[in-house]
Amino acid sequence: MEKAITRFAPSPTGYIHIGNVRSAIYPYLLARQSNGSLILRIEDTDRARYVEGATELIENTLEWLGLNWDEGPIVEGPHSPYFQSERQKIYHDWANKLIKSGRAYADPTPPEKIAEYREQCNQAKIPFLYRNFRPTDVPEWQPGIPLRFKTEPKNYSWHDEVMGDMHAGPEVLDDIILIKKDGYPTYNFAHIVDDAEMGVTHVMRGVEYLSSTPNYLAIYEALGLKRPKLVSLPHILASQGNKKLGKRDGAKSVTEYRDDGILPEAMLNYLACLGWNDGTEQEIYTKDELIQNFSLERIQTSGARYDETKLIWLNGQWIRKIFDEQGVENLYPRTQNFWPQSAENYPDDYKIKVLSIIYDRLKTLSDLRNMTSYFFEDPTIDLDLLTKNKFLKKFSESELETLLKQTITKLTNTKAWDADNVQNSLNELLVETDKKPAELFGLIRIAISFAPFSPALNLTMEVLGRETTLARLNTVARSI
């Protein structure tokens, strides 16, 4: 397989959201699969939209997802620098080639004049093409004057690895700006130069660039460059409406999901499979499996709607997968920031015990916060939970009290305090009191947790310990 040199080229204008991180995932997968490399390039030529700290945010996001890059900021590489703002000279050199060959011209036309031309066309209801208004007197190119491409209207055909064979007529070709008056290149020019300089083999980007592709093709041609493989990625659609997902639709940043307790494995798995599948019925993919099975041909042509419920489901699957395959000791370190406040002073081994009996109930790691508090602090007693419980409401308060006292006696005499012994005692108690599990176990469960749900009773009690269990049962018995 040919080594694929791919790139992820975001502009540092804010956080990375799920709508655009996929254009990092697919290039990564292709690069790894072909033993090629992934370049991270920061497209910061729009100084007005530049956001302080955005580059770090991008780096953090990629690192969290495990999408390491081979060239780019931090790691550097043979094509340094990887910030477009620092590559001015390179763009100007290439621009001068175009000027020399007569394929670019300095355009002194003031913006107001251009707006006027555009308005004329609108009124005449004809498409506005700047090449019909080329200035007659072209000055020498110098700072402060934008540089335009001088296009040659004609037909273009090309192959898009996802969309198939494409073609476009001269009506889409125009004299696009190559270098802005501030001296920075436009995306349209900079990405072509950089991709060529950096040896990029696959240009993977959102479909929104599809309609400007003929203009890029014209530039490749004028520059005598071999065109790279073009890969248009379908949009991810917002969960409401049909628009592509964007910050305006409340697209959350990837790091926000991290802070909500989504695992990077689940995020990667979900996003990779939104708009791509390998034709099998597999749903859970590790990063290595994705690398192994990824293929451009199987990328979907239509947009896919972002559905958070499936991401949440996948996350639950991943929590269990990590626990089952790597053990609780590997799941535990990921839970650091998700425990309730009251857990702060508890030792790791206690929290590990809690995690190992609660993990299969977690959808996100942050569920720990509201699902485990009774392991770390005495619950607030809410007698309504007892007296209004559908299995317990038929008992009088004194009956409940008696049951609790019998339980306390039984558990006080339980020999070793482990899940099996506790379960045996509970089973004996069931017989002795002639109650149904729903009644007796329900009562005990509520009395020690006052939570809407908990893990299996004997496991919960084992972790809580005899002392705490008995203390809570006593407190409740006295409160009734």
DSSP string, 326-370: H-HHHHGGGGGGGS-GGGTTS-HHHHHHHHHHHGGG-SSTTHHHH
Alpha-carbon distance 214 to 230, whole Å?
12
Residue 436, annotated ligand binder? no
What is the pairing mode between strands 164-168 and 156-160? antiparallel
According to the binding rule CB under 7 A, does residue 352 interact with RNA? no
Asked if 426 contacts 439 with a C-beta cutoff of 8 angstroms, the reply is no
Beta bridge partners of 203: 230
Alpha-carbon distance 177 to 103, whole Å?
12
Instruction: Specify the 3-state DSSP secondary structure of 169.
Output: coil
Binding range to RNA, per CB under 7 A, among 56-64, 269-277, 333-341, 464-472: 269-277
Task: Give the rounded distance of the alpha carbon of 321 from its chain centre.
Answer: 19
According to the binding rule CB under 7 A, does residue 242 interact with RNA? yes
* Amino acid found at 28: Y
Q: Is 228 or 455 the residue whose CB approaches RNA more closely?
A: 455
C-alpha pair distances (Å), 184 with each of 144, 147, 273, 364, 452: 10, 10, 37, 44, 60
According to the binding rule CB under 7 A, does residue 379 interact with RNA? no
CB neighbour class for 422 (10 Å; exposed up to 12, middle 13-18, buried from 19): buried
Binding range to RNA, per CB under 7 A, among 55-63, 135-143, 164-172, 403-411: 164-172
Q: Is 125 or 415 the residue whose CB approaches RNA more closely?
A: 125
According to the binding rule CB under 7 A, does residue 51 interact with RNA? no
- Report in angstroms how near the CB of residue 254 gets to RNA at its nearest: 17
According to the binding rule CB under 7 A, does residue 347 interact with RNA? no
Binding range to RNA, per CB under 7 A, among 22-30, 133-141, 174-182, 470-478: 174-182
> Of the candidates 90, 99, 138, 177, which one interacts with RNA according to CB under 7 A?
177
Q: Is 35 or 438 the residue whose CB approaches RNA more closely?
A: 438
> Of the candidates 60, 277, 286, 414, which one interacts with RNA according to CB under 7 A?
277
Which residues 63-102 are close enough to bind RNA by CB under 7 A? none
Coarse DSSP helix, strand, coil percentages of the chain, rounded to the nearest 5 percent: 50, 10, 40
- Report in angstroms how near the CB of residue 345 gets to RNA at its nearest: 26
Binding range to RNA, per CB under 7 A, among 150-158, 160-168, 222-230, 466-474: 160-168
Which residues 301-340 are close enough to bind RNA by CB under 7 A? 301-305, 307, 309-310, 312-313, 316-317, 320
- Report in angstroms how near the CB of residue 110 gets to RNA at its nearest: 6
238: left (phi over 0), alpha (psi -120 to 50) or beta: beta
> Of the candidates 2, 35, 49, 397, which one interacts with RNA according to CB under 7 A?
49
> Of the candidates 5, 40, 67, 168, which one interacts with RNA according to CB under 7 A?
168
Interface pattern 195-224 for RNA (x via CB under 7 A): ------------xxxxxx------------
- What phi and psi, each to the nearest 5 degrees, are found at residue 392? -105, -15
Give the Cβ contact number of residue 34 at 10 Å: 18
* Number of residues counted as binding RNA (CB under 7 A): 85
Asked if 127 contacts 211 with a C-beta cutoff of 8 angstroms, the reply is no
Which residues 413-472 are close enough to bind RNA by CB under 7 A? 423, 427, 430, 437-438, 441-442, 445, 452-458
Which residues 101-140 are close enough to bind RNA by CB under 7 A? 107, 109-111, 114, 118, 125, 127-128
Q: Is 430 or 471 the residue whose CB approaches RNA more closely?
A: 430
Alpha-carbon distance 464 to 13, whole Å?
49
- Report in angstroms how near the CB of residue 181 gets to RNA at its nearest: 3
Positions at the binding site for ATP: 247
